[in-house]
Amino acid sequence: MTKTIRFRLNGTPTTIETDGDRTLLWVLRTDLSLTGTKFGCGEGICGSCTVVVGGEAVRSCAVPVSSVDGKEVLTIEGLAQGGVLHPLQQAFVEHGGMQCGYCTPGMIMNAYALLRADPKPSREAIVKGMEENLCRCGAHQRIVAAIEGVARGKGGAS
């Protein structure tokens, strides 16, 4: 059923008219041309499609687009401000927290929500918070180091 859905997308008021049952993932990737959010498993298991809705990490493949009506949606494209990388992005670059880079947007968005809830997580809390995000390349060690770096240095994501 076609619906009007209004939300803020990366800070910009956005209105779309579409079938509200479509998943947020594919609306972002096709209608809204934000391809940084990745498809990995399509069943909410891998985390590569993670975006932040109302401050919380959400698997965009597993929620209907109607669920973001009236909410704030942040995707990987909205993280850098004025060409300056977000501290998490900077930390992933510096620590080499990616290999193929396909899981990276989901990892960063999940870490963003994690640090928002707990700006100074312990290493255990980071591991626990990232547990449901999969990386096949085995970049885990450096991903944890990158998030730890932000948690220690900058007090976490704003």
Partner 1 sequence: MSERFSIDRREFIKVVGGGVVVLVGMGPSALLAQDRRRVYPEDLNAYLRIGEDGRVTVFTGKIEMGQGVMTSQAQMVAEELRVALGAVEMVMGDTDRCPWDMGTFGSLTTRMFGPFLRAAAAEARAVMLRLASEKLGVPRGKLVVADGVVSVAGEPARRVTYGELAQGRRILRTVDDTAVLRKVSEFTVMGGSPQRFDAVAKVTGAAQFAGDVVRPGMLFACVLRPPAHGAKLTRLDVNAAAKLPGVTVVNEGGLVAALHADPEAAAKALARIDASWETPAPPFDTETVFDHLVKAAKPGEAAGVKGDVAAARAAATRLFESTFHKGYVAHAPIEPHTAVAESKDGKVTVWASTQTPFPTRERIARELGLANENVRVITPFVGGGFGGKSAGLQASEAARLAKITGKPVQVRWSRAEEFFYDTFDPAAVVKLVTALDAAGRITLWDYHVVAAGDRGAELFYDVPNASIRVSGGWRGEGTELHLFGVGPWRAPGANMNVFAKESQVDIMAAAAGIDPIELRLRNMTDGRMRRVLEAAAAAYGWKPRAVPARTGRGRGVACGVDAGSYVALIADVAVDRGTGTVEVERVVAAQEMGVVVNPEGAKMQMEGCITQGLGYALTEELRFRGGEILDRNFDTYALPRFSWLPRIETVLVRNDGLDPQGGGEPAIVPMGGAIANAVFDATGVRFYRLPLTAARVRAALAKPA
- Contact yes or no for 45/62 (Cβ under 8 A): no
Q: Which of 32, 58, 135, 151 binds partner 1 (CB under 8 A)?
A: 135
- When asked if residue 103 is in the footprint of ligand FES (CB under 6 A), the reply is yes
Residues 31-60 that bind ligand FES (CB under 6 A): 39-42, 44-49, 59
Residues in the interface with ligand FES (CB under 6 A) total 22
Closer to ligand FES at the Cβ: 93 or 137?
Answer: 137
> Does residue 102 belong to the site contacting ligand FES (CB under 6 A)?
yes
Asked if 101 touches ligand FES (CB under 6 A), the answer is yes
Interaction partner, residue 76 (ligand FES, partner 1, none; CB < 5-8 Å by kind): partner 1
Distance between CA 56 and CA 75 in Å, rounded?
12
Binding site for partner 1 (CB under 8 A): 22-23, 26, 30, 33-43, 45-46, 48, 75-77, 79-80, 85, 89, 92-94, 96, 98-105, 108, 126-128, 130-144
